[in-house]
Structure 1
Amino acid sequence: MKIIVSGGGTGGHIYPALTLIRTLEKKVDRLEVLYVGTHAGLEADIIPKEGIPFATVDLQGFKRSLSPENILRAARAIKGVGKAMGIVKKFQPDVVIGTGGYVCGPVLMAAGLLGIPSLIQEQNVIPGITNKILAKFVDRIATGYQEASKHFPAGKVEFTGNPIRAEVMAPRQEGDYEAFDLLPGRKTILVSGGSRGARSINRAMVDVLKHYAGRRDVQILHATGKGEYEDIMSRLRAAGVDLEKACNLQVVPYLYNMPQAMSIADLAVFRAGATGLAELTAKGIPAILIPYPYAAENHQEHNARAVEKAGAARVILNKDISPELLIETIDDLLEDQGTLRKMAAASRSLGRPQAADTIAEMILELARNRQ
């Protein structure tokens, strides 16, 4: 079986694609994969390191305002469709899969024009413009949220949940706390603004960390993002926070073993990207969500509100974040264990740990129908 997978720009599009590829590898004896992205996107770094053949289409997304630059980008888009046609014709896939980002457009359109079955995976509550357009061309659509399904043709769409890495579901191990120099028996708060960090969250966390420093019942693991780490460490020193003396605070630039960190988390402070939320809910972790305000179509707030509506999270808008509000919200949840347990149960009810298997079966069905 041969597949083309396309998704790029952010980890939120790339990692679900990788999860689907790894899931299909377990189900298919001989799977040939070609990943199509852009040379400038994050995928150009990640995909070759995964040992997956990689091809590029020169393409840029359009600016939201009228500008001469958009004319140049439109010309590149037309050229990109031509190159994508060449890639698809040469590889001759059985199915083409898109997981988001503007690079999917020409690749999936080429598949449609060539009569090759295709599927898109929409991660967010509010679909991006690329996937809304592609819905007319593709055969199947897998949505990460039930609320997203109403934006697509009923005969094509299926609510599956978002695919997550298998290691996310690994049970807690004896050494998981020790891996982060933390202790079992304390309520553990996991804080992350995503792989690049979130300045608003990080700066509010300086006073939050100071407030909880030295507590014996609470501990915090805070990933700042590599670009923010030195600034936050400087601010902590200026605030008089001694991380070594506190013993219950761990501040790191990046968590390479996020699934292991999630295994010990009792509460998370996160942005509201689709992949992060899929992993939190699969683990049943209550959350304080601070949506990134500049995401396309404000989709992070819509994601966060869906989780909040289910009773699994509290939402603080980025414009409202402050150390005082964050401390108040954390204290409120930690002091009310009944509410925290209900939020954990609600989170778990939203989780779709089987999503990758479900979507993989949809892909295999498309391949079988073509044959």
Structure 2
Amino acid sequence: MVNAATKLLIAASGTGGHLFPAIALAQELPDYQIEWLGVPNRLETQLVPQQYKLNTISVEGFQKGFGISSLLTLGKLVGSVLKVRKILQNGQFQGVFTTGGYIAGPAVIAARSLGIPVILHEANAFPGKVTRFFGPWCNAVALGFAVAAKYLPRAQTIYTSTPVRSEFLEPGVASSLDLGIPENVPVIVVFGGSQGAVAVNKLVRECATVWFDAGAWVVHLTGDKDPDAENLKHPQYISLPFYNNMAALLQRANLAISRSGAGSLTELAVCGTPAILIPYPFAAEDHQTYNAQVFTSVGAALMFQQKELTVEKLQTEVLRLLQSPQELKAMGEKAKTIAPADSAEKLAQLVREIVEK
């Protein structure tokens, strides 16, 4: 008699920072039967269904203050918990894995009410409200940055780093870059995470001419919400809303200019890409600054707050770094120390130990 596959429900929704680590984990559990829990009209509806069955619930975060909207949100939460309980019972799931965010609440409550073990992965250096509240309810909280443990004194934490998709770990993947960039020119990659960064985009376009004069090429991933994305034209400038082969691009890049979401930072670290980090100033509880400080503390990146960063300052810092290849090399080597390459395997082993016990 063949044993039935272990069934795992993955609750991950919204941005690449939540979804890509969960997909990387799922790839490390080929013997598991995996289904997904997401929200309608979010990124998971594009990334997940071709690989895993996607179940959706309607849930959102509580806004500041208390009013009619809070009551409606509470009603949705209760309804979502009941729906997740039904999914878990009907599917006979043996474990739940979540990467936090709004969707983690109903997933954790439903699982624990049924006695099903839960593993939560927190990618940020400063854990989000959901993780701080629900962490103690979980069998384990896996950490993207070891420093996050001090903010979760009541949770069972273990440092695993944050998994990246398998292509980021393939040596020589930079050769698959298909953007027509000459071999021996410096390349600056600009990106703002899976949702783009309009303020950074504007700043970079104002800076770029000086970098072109210095021989650099700029690959600018603008996201799809920038009304001025087509405003700059130059032979050394490649503007795209998104680019799928990020592993090749980051391995080829001499320097990245980026927001400091946890997923983006882990990809930079695994690729050893030196960076100038501009934390998103409106991120919840300023968590992107905490993330960036992990990199600046070891010399893997420079950080500038958006309100303090002028065109002149960014132009000057980028030119200085491009003219200092030894400094860039050292930054890249320090970045690689932040994210071990076996994070997905460590996380998969943790899931196996808890779910199969």
TM-score (norm 2): 0.94
* Residue in structure 1 matching 2:313, options 322, 325, 334: 325
Equivalent position SS for 2:136: coil
Partner of 2:220: 222
Q: Which residue of 1 aligns with 2:190?
A: 191
Q: Secondary structure at the match of 1:350?
A: coil
- In structure 2, stretches of 5+ residues that fail to align are 1-5
Secondary structure (helix, strand or coil) at the match of 2:87 reads: helix
How many residues are aligned here? Answer: 352
1:42 is matched by which residue type in structure 2? Answer: L
- Counterpart in 1 of 2:148? 148
Secondary structure of residue in 2 paired with 1:262: helix
SS at match of 2:238: strand
Opposite residue 86 of structure 2, the aligned amino acid is G
CA distance in 2, matches of 1:274, 1:4: 23
Name the structure where helix makes up a greater proportion of residues: 1
CA distance in 1, matches of 2:174, 2:151: 44
Question: Are 1:37 and 2:38 matched, yes or no?
Answer: yes
Q: CA deviation at 1:58?
A: 1.8
Indicate conservation of the 8 Å contact 2:100/2:130, yes or no: yes
Q: By how many angstroms is 1:165 displaced?
A: 0.6
Distance 2:185 2:100 in 1: 39
Q: Measured at CA, do residues 133 and 174 of structure 1 come closer, stay the same or move farther in structure 2, by a change above 3 Å?
A: closer
Shift of 1:339: 2.0
Distance 1:119 1:16 in 2: 13
Paired residues for 1:82-121 under 5 Å: 82-121=82-121
CA shift digits 1:123-145 (9 cap, x unpaired): 00111111112112110110000
Confirm or deny: 8 A CA contact 1:189 1:219 kept in the other structure: yes
The residue type equivalent to 1:363 in the other structure is V
RMSD (Å) for aligned C-alpha atoms: 1.7
Structure 1 pair 45/155, CA: closer, same or farther in 2 (3 Å)?
Answer: closer
Partner of 1:171: 171
1:151-187, Cα deviation, whole Å (9 max, x unpaired) = 224772111100101101222357445x111111222
Note if contact 1:291-1:304 (Cα within 8 Å) is conserved in structure 2: yes
Deviation of 1:73 (Å): 0.6
Alpha-carbon distance between aligned partners in 2 of 1:155 and 1:297, rounded to the nearest angstrom: 20
CA displacement at 1:93 relative to structure 2: 1.4
1:68 aligns with 2:68: yes
Q: Tell me whether 1:243 sits opposite 2:222 in the alignment.
A: no
Q: Who is 1:181 aligned against? A: 180
Name the amino acid aligned to 1:140: A
Question: Match for residue 259 of structure 1?
Answer: 247
Is the contact between residue 198 and residue 225 of structure 2 (CA under 8 Å) also seen in structure 1? no
CA contact (8 A) 1:206 1:232 kept: no
Counterpart secondary structure, 2:228? helix
Equivalent residue, structure 2, for 1:134: 134
Aligned-partner SS, 1:34: strand
Whether the 8 Å CA contact 1:169–1:282 is kept in 2: the answer is yes
* TM-score (structure 1 length as normaliser): 0.90
Q: Mean alpha-carbon deviation: is it higher for 14-23 or for 165-174? A: 165-174
Residue of structure 1 aligned with 2:256, choices 268, 272, 296: 268
CA distance in 2, matches of 1:122, 1:145: 8
CA contact (8 A) 1:37 1:56 kept: yes
CA–CA separation in structure 2 for the residues paired with 1:174 and 1:356: 22
What is the identity, as a one-letter code, of the residue corresponding to 1:221? V
The gaps in structure 1 that reach 5 residues or longer are 237-241
| Aligned-partner residue type, residue 124 of structure 1 | N
Q: Do the aligned residues in 2 keep the contact of 1:135 with 1:153 (CA within 8 Å)?
A: no
Cα distance change of structure 1 residues 334 and 8 upon mapping to structure 2, 3 Å threshold: same
